[in-house]
Structure formats: structure tokens, C-alpha cells
Structure 1
Amino acid sequence: MAQDWFIELLKGMGRLLLHPVFYYSFIIAGVLGVSRVKRERKNFTVRAEDAYFELRQLFPLGLLVGLVISIVIIAAGIAIPFAAIVLVASATLLLSLITRVRLLTPAFTVGAAFFALIFLSGRQIDLPLAGDLFSSLDEKIYPSIAILLALLTIGEGFLILRNGKKGTSPKLKKSKRGQTVGVHEIKRLWVVPAFMLVPGSVLTLPFEWWPVFALGDNTYSLILVPFAIGLHQQVQGMLPKEAVQQLGSRVVGLGIQITLIAAAGYWYPIASIAAVAIAMVGREALTLMQRMQEESRPFYFSKKNHGVMILGILPESPADKMALGVGELVTKVNGTNVHDEHTFYEALSRNRAHCKLEVLDTNGQIRFVQRALYEGDHHELGILFVQDEKKWDSAVV
């Protein structure tokens, strides 16, 4: 029995390569990386992370989330019909065409598939390679799909908490008063591959080599399905790390609430519909709440009279090695008070071999950092400041 399961798991992994979302996610992540680099170069003449950063975030943490979801799905015997998998993939591809990555969340992709199944159930529709998937659907599938949505929403919150704060992108924009201010933008796409138990032998119809196995009196196919999860958040009134943590915690809380409601769907079918509807409305409400809260706060990254605010740090630069952080305020350079990027540069140029900075950290505490500057170091320090676009001097110091 254990050997059969192991063989099925290996075959299920191979089936991942048949799923279009697996390939499409690389395209979306690549587009996100290229567009971010172009915008950062426009604002600062340099980019923070390279264009492959978003591609590197696609799978590592998503594999862990997918493993946990797979264990829960298989251990609980939660069967997901192949029709739902097809519709989730279709919803993912269609929503991605709107070019808003935030719509690629389980609440919308799985939620749209859920209500599409209700509409298509009982209809005879022949699909290429798959045949008729909707005419013989059982009502028992709806609580299972609602549970899957809840698990993916909890996984989404975990991804935001653990990975969303990594590599947030600095950005310049104009305030309502016409002043140049800084914000941080997070555009991220994750892929969560999770094993799904597909009831029946529907997958063997177009593919004779597609194996099935039995659990009790029922037969199942095992398939590794990639679920795309997107995030788009713009932070202007607080530290990006704190804003991302706040959103992640709220999404996890929403996922837990959906799980409790969806579980009741096995006894009360209407609860499954309620759970999915709450997921879709609740996830959009969290986005709107975050946006309204940000707009009500003053800009965190704006020009200060008593120092220069650090908007971003270039990776592997001297500033990065000096452990300078986003949101900190540099008040003195080599003993000289600084109030903008130009005075910072002048004070730094007085000693090209060594720099000493007085920094006001995000807790309001003063600390001193210093470092010798060597030939071959990143040009200047690698700090991104809030400054006017296309200014005569460099945006990176």
C-alpha cells in the first residue's frame, strides 16, 4: 500500500507539467520583475532587486504551503472534481488578463470556479480531451471546494506574512499637494502546488496511461495542481514590513473563519455558499480597508528638515552591510548635519575612505554606524532617498 502511494505521488508530480498555470505563472512573474525594474530605474536611475527577483519567489515557500494543504486534503479524504480544477485554471488565466495581480487570490479564482460549477452543474458540455465534466456532478463536492478555498486563503496569509515583506520596492509619487514623496509597493506572485484527490476515473478517458487507485469503494486519481496566489499592496503611511504583517494576519484570520463556516457545509449545504461568498467579499474588504487606512495617514517617506529619510537600500551595498534600514533617518554624516540628498553627498565626499553616520532608527533611538569605504565598493553607499525625479544629481548616495 505504501509503495502504491509513493508511486502515485511521483506520477502526480509529473502531471504538474500538464497544467497551463504552471507555465503561465513564469510569464506573469517575469513581467512583474521587468516592469518593476523599469520603474525603479526611472525613479532612481538604478534598480533595487534584479528582474529575476519575482521569479525566485514563485515556488520556495509555496512548496511548503502546498505540502501542508496536500496532507490535509489527502488525510481528510477531501475530493475535488476535475471540473473544479479546470474552472480554477480558467479563472486564473482570465483574471490575469486584467493585469491586476491582486485578483489572483484563492477568494476570486476558486470562488469564481465554485459559482461557475453551480451554474454549469447538470449541463452536458463536452470539453476537448476531458469530455463531459458537469452533467453528473454530486452536490457533496461544494463543501469540499469551500474547504479548499479556506485552506488556500490561510496559505495566502502565511505567504504574505513570511515573504511579502521581502524585497518591497521603493517608489516615488506626487502627493495631492504636488510634493514628491516615497511609497513602497509589493507586487508578488506565488505558486502553491498541492495534491488533489480527483474522484472517479474521468482522467483515464483521454489518457489511457493515467492511473487510478482505490480508497474503500471509491476510485481516485491523484494530480498535483498549481494554484497561483497574487499580492499587490502599496504602503505610504507606515513601515512596509509592519503593513505587510498586518495584512497577512488579517488574511489568515479570514481563512480561519471561512474554514469554520465551510466545515458546516457538510451538514448544511447553504453554509458552503455562505463561506465562499464571505471569502470573496471579505478579501476585497481587506484590500479596501488597507487602502483607506493608508490614504488617511500622512506620508511616512517624505522630506524632513532634520535629516534624510531612507526610502530603500540596494542589496549588497555598503549601506546594506552597515545594517541601515528602510524608514531610518540619517541626521549627520561625518559630523555634519544633513537635511537633503545634496548635503548628504557633500558631507560624504569630504572623506572618501571612511564614513560615520548618526541615525535615528524607527524606534526613535539614536545610533552611530561607520564603515571604511574601499575601492570596488558599490558606487557611494547604495541608499535611495526621497528626491525629485530627474534631478541634476544622483538619486543614489
Structure 2
Amino acid sequence: MAQDWFLELVKGTGRLLLHPVFYYSLFLAALFGVSRVKRERKNFTVRSEDAFFELRQLFPVGIVIGLVISLIIIGAGIVLPFAAIVLIAAATLLWSFTARLRLLAPAYTVGAAFFALAFLSGKKIVGDLFTNLDEKIYPSIAILLALLTIGEGFLILKNAKKGTSPKLIKSKRGQTVGVHEVKRLWLVPAFMLIPGNTLTLPFDWWPVFTLGENSYSLLLVPFAIGMQQQIKGMLPREAVQQQGRRVIGLGILIALIAAIGYWYPIAAIAAVSIAIIGREALTLLQQMQEENRPFYFAKKNQGVMILGILRGSPAEKMALEVGEHITKVNGTYVHDESSFYEALSRNRAHCKLEVLDTNGQIRFVQRALFEGDHHELGILFVQDEKKWG
């Protein structure tokens, strides 16, 4: 038995390379990275992160989340039909064509697959893919949706706060203001237990091992999870973490309702419906709250606010943070970008800054400047119209 499990783990991992979502996610992450760099160069003439940043975020945390989900799925013996895996992949590809990454949340992809499977069940469309489906598969899909939603919340909480992208927009009054945008795509590879009798007919090469009285196969499935959020009235880190905690709470609620579905099947439908409605409600709530807040990154009469910091720049080494105010440069009060650089140019070898942090406390930072350092310290401000228009 142990040897069968080991072989299935190895073979199931190899099947990851046969899944189209795996390659499509790589393409999407690269595409959004290039798009972000172009926009940042248009706004600031420089990029905050390189074009490979989104690709680097695609796997590391997602692998950990996928491992936890795999242990729960296999340990609890939760079985999904191969038809559900196919429909989740189809929904992922379909929603991605809208160019809205938020629609790649599990509530929308797995939720769409759930109702599509209920509609197609018993119909002979692609061989026997949708025939002979047991009703117990629906609570299992709802449980998977809950686990992925909780995983989505942790991904937002722990990873989305990194590398938020500064952006310049026009306010309703026509003023140039700054916002932060998060467009993130994660790949969560998780092992799924697939009934053997579903896979032996379409795929003769699919290995099956015996577990008790039934036959199953392990399949490492890449679940693409997307997130998109624009932040204008809060610090980016705080806004993203707030959304992450809300999504985790929604996932826990879905899990509790979905578990009841094994005894009362109607609960599985309720769980998936709550997932879709609840996830959309969280997005609308975040957008409404943002609309009611004043712009956090707007020009101030005193000092200049840091909208972004370039990676590896003197500003990063001086531990400056997004959202802080710089009130003095080399002993001179500054009130806009021009006065900041004028004061900075008075001493090319050293700079001393008086900074008002996000808690309203004054601190002083200083650093020697060396040849090759970024001549603007690597700080991005809300710039004048003539510089970015």
C-alpha cells in the first residue's frame, strides 16, 4: 500500500505538467507584469518592480497553501469527479478572458463549475464524463471551494501586501492623486482524489490504485487564484490585510455550511451560493468604503508624501516607507517635488531627512550618498501633470 501511494504521488505530480491552467497562469502572470511596468514607466518614468515580480509571486506561498489543502483532502477522503476538475479549469480560462483578475477567485471558478456540473449531470456529452455521478460529490466540491477560499484569504493577507503598485489617476476635481493597485495571480497546486472508474474509460494510461473497496487516482491540480484591488483611502498594507481577513472569515463560514451538506445536500448548494454572493459583497464593500474616504496619497501643503519606493534604492536602505511624509531635506523645509530635489542637490554626498511616519511621529534618517546611487533616492511622489501626462 505504501508503495502504491508513493507511485501515485510521483505520477500525480507529473500530471501537473499536462494541465493547461499551469502554463496559462505563467502566461497571465508575465502579461500582467509587463503591463504594470509600462504603466509605471508612463507615470513615473521608472518601474517600482521588474516585469518578473508577478511571476516570482506565482508559486512560493501557493505551494504551502496547496500542501495544506492536499493533506485535508486526502486525510478526510474527500473525492472529486474528474468532470469537476475539467469544469473548474474551463471556468478559470473563461473568466480570465474578461481581464479581471478578481474573477479568478475560487468563489467564481469553483462556484461556476459546481452549478455547471449540476446542470450537465447525467448528460452524455463528452463520453461518460458527466454520467453516473453520485450526489455526494456536491458537498465535496463545496468543501474544496471553502478550503480554496480560506487559502485565498491567507494569500491576500501574507503575500498581496508585498509590492503593491503605485499609480497616478485623476480625482473628480481634476487633481492628480496617487493610489495603489494590487493585481496578483497565485497558483495553488493541490492533490485531488479522483474516482478510478471515472478515469479508466477516457484515459487508458491513467494509473489507478485500490483504497479500501474503491479505486482512486491522485491528481495534482493547479488552481489559479486571482486578486485585484485599488486602494486610495488607506495605507496599502492595511487595506490588503483587512480584505484578507474578511475572505478568511467567509471561507470558514462556507466550510461550516458545506460540511452539513453530507447529511443535507441542500446545504452544499447554499454554501456555494453564499460563497459567490459573499465574495462579491466583500468586493463591493471594499469599493464603497474606498469611495467614501478622502485620497490618502494627495498633495499636501507641508512636506511631500512617499507614494512608492524603488527596490534596492537609497530610500529602501534608509527604511523609508510608503505613506510617510518628508518635511525637511538637509535642514530645508520642502512642500513639493521640486523643492525636495532642490534641497537634495545642495549636498550630493550626504542627505538628512526629517520624516513624519504613519503614526504621526517625527524621526530623522540620514545616509551618505555614493556614486551610482539613484539620484532621486528612489522615491516616487504624486507628480505634476506636466511630468506624467
Give the TM-score category using the shorter length.
over 0.9
SS of alignment partner, residue 132 of structure 1: coil
Confirm or deny that 1:44 pairs with 2:44. Answer: yes
Change beyond 3 A, Cα 1:43–1:389: farther
- Residue of structure 1 in register with 2:241 after alignment: 245
After TM superposition, the structure 1 = structure 2 runs for residues 158-177 of structure 1, keeping only pairs within 5 Å, are 158-177=154-173
Partner Cα distance (1:78, 1:390) in 2: 59
Structure 1 counterpart SS, 2:306: strand
Q: CA deviation at 1:264?
A: 0.2
1:377–1:215 Cα change, 3 Å: same
Find the residue that maps to 2:142 and give its secondary structure: helix
Partner of 2:320: 324
C-alpha distance in 2 between matches for 1:265 and 1:391: 58
Q: 2:177 aligns with which of 178, 181, 195?
A: 181
Please give the TM-score of this superposition, normalised by the length of structure 1: 0.97
Q: Is the 8 A contact 2:235 2:296 kept in 1?
A: yes
Can you give the 5+ residue segments of structure 2 that lack an aligned partner in the other structure? none
| Partner-residue secondary structure (3-state), 2:387 | coil
Asked if the contact 2:146–2:254 (Cα under 8 Å) also holds between the matched residues in 1, the reply is: yes
User: What is the aligned partner in structure 1 of residue 192 from structure 2?
Assistant: 196
2:251 is matched by which residue type in structure 1? G
User: Cα RMSD over matched residues?
Assistant: 1.1
Would the aligned equivalents of 1:250 and 1:286 in 2 still touch at CA under 8 Å?
A: yes
CA distance in 2, matches of 1:76, 1:45: 53
Assess if the C-alpha contact under 8 Å between 1:43 and 1:389 holds in 2.
Answer: no
CA distance in 2, matches of 1:379, 1:54: 27
1:306 aligned partner, one-letter code: Q
Rounded to whole Å, the distance in 2 between the matches of 1:338 and 1:102 is: 40
Deviations 1:373-397 (A, max 9, x none): 00011232000000124429xx9xx
TM-score, with structure 2 as normaliser: 0.99
Distance 1:256 1:389 in 2: 46
1:18 has 2:14 as partner = no
Inter-partner Cα distance in structure 2 for 1:114 and 1:229? 17
Distance 2:211 2:80 in 1: 15
Q: How does 1:61-76 map to 2 (within 5 A)?
A: 61-76=61-76
Match of 1:327, as an amino acid? G
* Match of residue 259, structure 2, among 259, 263, 268: 263
Deviation at 1:85, TM superposition (A): 0.3
Percent identity among equivalent residues? 80
CA contact (8 A) 2:87 2:116 kept: yes
Aligned to 1:208: 204
User: What residue is the counterpart of 1:106 in the other structure?
Assistant: 106
Pairing 1:337-376 to 2, within 5 Å after superposition: 337-376=333-372
Q: What residue number does 1:282 align with?
A: 278
Query: Could you say which residue in structure 1 is the equivalent of 2:311?
Result: 315
Q: Distance in 1 between matches of 2:387 and 2:230?
A: 24
Q: Give the 3-state SS of the residue equivalent to 1:195 in structure 2.
A: strand
1:201 is paired with a residue whose SS is helix
Shift of 1:356: 0.1
Q: Say whether 1:218 aligns with 2:214.
A: yes
In the alignment, is the contact (CA less than 8 A) between 1:156 and 1:252 conserved in 2?
A: yes
Residue by residue, what CA displacement relative to the aligned partner does 1:30-62 show, whole Å, maximum 9, x if unpaired? Answer: 111011001000000000000010011111100
- Please report how far the alpha carbon of residue 122 of structure 1 lies from its aligned counterpart in structure 2 after TM superposition: 1.1
SS of 2:78's partner is: coil
Kept in 1, the 8 Å contact 2:81–2:198? The answer is no
Give the conservation status (yes or no) of the 8 Å contact 1:44–1:389.
no
8 Å CA contact retained: 1:40, 1:48: yes
* Deviation for aligned residue 1:7: 1.4
- Residue deviations 1:137-166 (CA, integer Å, cap 9, x gap): 111100000000000000000000000000
Q: Please state how far the C-alpha of 1:202 moved relative to its aligned partner.
A: 2.6
Alpha-carbon separation, structure 2, partners of 1:30 and 1:163:
18
Deviation at 1:208, TM superposition (A): 2.8
Deviation per residue, 1:282-329 (Å, 9 max, x gap): 000000000000010000000011100000000000000000000000
Q: How far apart in 2 are the matches of 1:327 and 1:165?
A: 14
| Whole-angstrom CA distance in 2 between matches of 1:135 and 1:162 | 41
Residue identity opposite 2:55 in structure 1:
L
Distance 1:110 1:136 in 2: 21
Please list every run of 5 or more consecutive structure 1 residues that lacks an aligned counterpart in the other structure.
none
Structure 1 counterpart SS, 2:237: helix
2:379 aligned with 1:379, yes or no? no
Amino acid at match of 1:99: A
